[in-house]
Amino acid sequence: MEFSSKLLENAVYEVSQLPGIGKRTALRLVLHLLKQPEQRTSNLATSLLDLRSKIQFCENCHNISDTVLCEICANPKRDDALVCVVEDIRDVMAIENTGQFRGKYHVLGGKISPMEGIGPQNLKIGTLVDKVKNGVIKELIFALSSTMEGDTTNFYIFRQIEGFEIKTSTIARGIAVGDELEYADEVTLGRSILNRVPFEGSLRQD
């Protein structure tokens, strides 16, 4: 694409560096901003700069937070002994939306992925192992995605905490509520049969 303006070209280039946004979409977004009042662009730019420079991470669970301890970790009603290990803040938000979890979280910040150059040292695994060693945690729930990277990360953490008296579990994999069996993949359907639950229990809403 040839641009009539270096400023425009520069802005389009920067926007197109975002994931899933190509040059054409970037041009559309930038032209939209040009048609809007200047205030809109400065609000957008300031909010991004503020976020990047002022953001804090909770010192206990490493979730994004505006304070030293995040709201969940600071809540005395939540169970310190039950910790859910997740990849990032989106997973925390998703689990919080269910209203089914009253423990705390530990946000790893990613998964072990040699392809992307992410090793255990890039993730917040050390502090999790420390918490286990201190004996605060009684049960650890692994809620990482069930991909090769997720399984590797689960296994790595599991090996690190072997020998400590602690229960470990992973979230249940199975047919989604409302889905037809016919369209489920074999692995999911297979696991849902292996991990079947007593009938009364499955109807109970805890």
Cβ atoms within 10 Å of 12's Cβ, excluding its own: 23
Q: How far is the CB of 105 from its own copies (least distance, A)?
A: 10
SS3 166: coil
User: CB-wise, 46 or 147, nearer to its own copies?
Assistant: 46
Pair 85, 62: CB distance under 8 Å: no
Q: For the CB of residue 59, give the shortest distance to its own copies in the complex, in Å.
A: 14
Question: What is the nearest approach in angstroms of its own copies to the Cβ of residue 71?
Answer: 6
Residues making contact with its own copies (CB under 8 A): 1-8, 10-11, 13-15, 17-21, 25, 27-34, 38, 40-56, 58, 63-66, 70-72, 88-90, 92-93, 96-97
Q: DSSP H helical segments within the chain, as ranges?
A: 6-16, 23-35, 38-54, 71-74, 89-98, 126-133, 148-160, 186-194, 199-203
Q: How far is the CB of 158 from its own copies (least distance, A)?
A: 25
Question: Cα–Cα distances in Å, from 74 out to 40, 80, 98, 147?
Answer: 35, 10, 20, 32
Q: Which is nearer to its own copies, 64 or 81 (CB)?
A: 64
Nearer to its own copies, 11 or 132 (CB): 11
Q: How far is the CB of 172 from its own copies (least distance, A)?
A: 24
Task: Give the nearest distance from C-beta 82 to its own copies in angstroms.
Answer: 19
Q: CB nearer to its own copies: give 10 or 195.
A: 10
Which one, 5 or 121, has the nearer CB to its own copies?
Answer: 5
- The smaller minimum CB distance to its own copies, of residues 88 and 189, is found at 88
Q: In terms of C-beta density within 10 A (0-12 exposed, 13-18 middle, 19 or more buried), how is residue 157 classed? A: buried
Residue from 118, 99, 100 nearest 109 by CA: 118
Distance CA 199, CA 202 (A): 5
